[in-house]
Every structure is written in structure tokens, then in C-alpha cells.
Amino acid sequence: MKILVCIKQVPSSTTVAVDEVTGVLKRDSAESKMNPYDLFALETAFRIRKDKGGSVAVLSMGPPQAKLALQEAINMGAGEACLLTDRKFAGADVWATSYTLSQGILKLGHFDLVICGKQTTDGDTAQVGAEVAEFLNWPHAANVSRIESVTDKHIDVLVNMEHIIQKQRIELPCLITVEKDIHTPHLPSYKRQLLTADRPLQVMTLKDFTDQDEHHYGLNGSPTQVEKIFPPSHTTEKQVLTGSGAELANRLFELLTARKMI
């Protein structure tokens, strides 16, 4: 079983704000981490590998520093790692991101199963997995809450819908996106870190792809465009209450009583 896990490096902090005067984006820190939802995808892959044998490779798209996220995945137990990085990929929306990932996957060779996290904490769209599957012309399942069984031909999974759960049998190769908590992720191993410290990561740019048309990548390949960013709107009628804890507790009690909540 050849498994590939797609991961993303995301900002550690989600406190980003727009300076209302200058319109400039302000980020708290430049620190990054692996998208937490990807840890569940990795763990799912490791468990299938333990049961069925095979390999787990990791793929990411991002700036050169995203290598750190791939290294972390290796420390947790991943084998091969590949980063897709090119200025030409900059400004990619869901379509262009998914297309870039699918080009990378095709170039890496054959996989039986691609696993993605449910969503990222920065983009928050939960759409990239399904679009990648479409570009690969593979079936997919999103919101997978359990792997029931895996054979050479298919995988049986539980898919979480709104009020029902579907037990699906999906032909391989396929792509799944897994729910948080499908398995508890394990921590990166320091021992493994020492063992794999000088393992080279593969890097691919646009020149390594089969489709090298710049119009299909980054901002130019993105059907959507951000027209404007702005701070969120405010509620106009607002009462501000300040004072000591005791005073505020009294005011809140009065307010709740007046509203017949008590």
C-alpha cells in the first residue's frame, strides 16, 4: 500500500488584523507550525501502513520554509517528503492550489491512497482535498470518521454526514479527508529526528511538472480574486459596562433579571 499524505504549514498565530488607517495586514508573529488537522491524516496513514505494510510519503506546497513541516512529518514516521515551491505558485486559490498538488502527485508516481486533513486552520475552506481528487480523476470521501478495512482493491470507511453515517466501499486509488479525532496522533520522535536529520527532501518547481503553462498556477491560474479586505463590521447599539467585579456582577444580575432569565 503506497500512501501519500498532503500537509500544509500554517501560521502559529491566527491573530491577524487590518490596520484601519493604513489598510495594512498585521500579523502577530511569523512563526509557523504544521496544520493541526494534518496530524490526524498522518496518524491514519501510519496505522494503515502498520496493518498492511507499504510506505507513507508526504507532500506540501508552500514557501521554502515549509520544509520544516515536512521534516516534522518525517520525524513522526513518514518516508519520502516533497515540497512544491515556486514563486509562480504564489497567490493560488483553491482551484490553483489543488491543481498544483495534483500535478505534484502525478509526478511523484503511483499511489493507492491519498489522505488529507479535514481543513487547514488558515484557509479554512475544507475544499482542496476534493478538488485534488477530481483533478486525479479518483473517487473521494470527505469527513471520514473511521477506516473499517483496507484491501488491495478498496477501502471501507465511515463517512460522517449531517444526521446519518454512510459506510462506503471506495475503489483504490482514492483520496480521503479525515475528521479530527479519527486517531490520536503520536509525537515526533527525537530518536527518529537524529536518524533522519540529513535525509534530503525532494523539491519540485513548475519546471518539474508535466503541465508547465504558467496560466494554470498561482494568481494567474486562480478563478477567484480577493477584491478587497476589510475589518469586520460592528454592532452599533452597544452598552459598555466597567467597574469592579462586584459592581459588574450586580449589573449583570439586574440585566438578566430584567430580561426574565432569572
Partner 1 sequence: MKELVIHQEKVDEAVVAQLQAVCPFNAFDWVNGRLSVNAACKMCGLCVKKGPAGVVELVEKSSAAAIDKTLWRGITVFADTTEGHIHPVTFELLGEARELAAVVGHPVYALLIGSNNQADAKELLHYGADEVFVYDDPKLAGFLIEPFTAAAADFINKIKPCALLVGGTNAGRSLAPRIAARVKTGLTADCTSLEIKANTDLVQIRPAFGGNIMARIVTPNHRPQLCTARYKIFSAPPKQARAKGKITPMQISDAQLQSRVKVLKTIPKELGFDLTTAEVIVAVGRGVKSKKDVALVQKLADLLHAQLACTRPMVEAGWFDPRRQIGLSGRTVSPKLIITVGISGSVQFVAGMKGSETIIAINNNKNAGIFNVAHFAFIGDLYEIIPRLIQHIKK
Are the beta carbons of 235 and 24 closer than 8 angstroms? no
258 binds partner 1 (CB under 8 A): no
Rounded Cα–Cα distance for residues 33 and 11 (Å): 6
Q: Which is nearer to partner 1, 151 or 166 (CB)?
A: 166
Q: Give least dist CB 222 to partner 1, A.
A: 7
Dist CA 121 CA 13 (whole Å): 10
Which of residues 49 and 112 has its CB atom nearest to partner 1 in the complex? 112
Q: Which of 20, 110, 164, 258 binds partner 1 (CB under 8 A)?
A: 164
For partner 1, the closer of residues 11 and 54 by Cβ is 11
Bridge partners of residue 150, in order along the sequence: 155
Cell 512529518, residue?
Answer: 73
The set of residues, in sequence order, having a beta carbon less than 8 Å from that of 77 and lying 6+ positions away, is 42, 46, 56, 189, 192
Question: Under the criterion CB under 8 A, does residue 89 sit at the interface with partner 1?
Answer: yes
By CB under 8 A, tell whether 124 contacts partner 1: yes
Report how far residue 121's alpha carbon sits from residue 10's, in angstroms, rounded to the nearest whole number. 7
User: Of these, 43, 98, 112, 178, which contacts partner 1 (CB under 8 A)?
Assistant: 98
Size of the site for partner 1 (CB under 8 A): 109
Check binding of 109 to partner 1 (CB under 8 A): no
Give the residue with the Cβ less far from partner 1, 187 or 226: 226
**Binders of partner 1 among 190-229, rule CB under 8 A?**
214-215, 218-220, 222-229
Residues in CB range of 111: below 8 A, 6 or more apart: 2, 3, 4, 57, 105, 173
Q: Which of 194, 195, 197, 252 is the binder for partner 1 (CB under 8 A)? A: 252
Interface positions, 41-60, toward partner 1 (CB under 8 A): none
Q: Which residues pair with 114 in a beta bridge?
A: 4, 175
Phi, psi of 101, rounded to the nearest 5 degrees: -60, -40
Report residue 26 as a C-alpha cell.
498585521
Pick one of 42, 73, 174, 178: the residue that binds partner 1 (CB under 8 A).
174
Smallest distance, Å, CB 195 to partner 1? 29
Q: What does each C-alpha distance from 161 to 147, 165, 168 come to in angstroms? A: 15, 6, 12
C-alpha–C-alpha distance, residues 238 and 231, integer Å: 18
Residue choice 85, 101, 114, 178 for contact with partner 1 (CB under 8 A): 85
Question: Closest CB to partner 1 among 53 and 232?
Answer: 232
Q: How far is the CB of 29 from partner 1 (least distance, A)?
A: 10
210 or 225: CB nearest partner 1: 225
Shortest distance, position 105 Cβ to partner 1, whole Å: 14
CA distance 145 to 147: 7
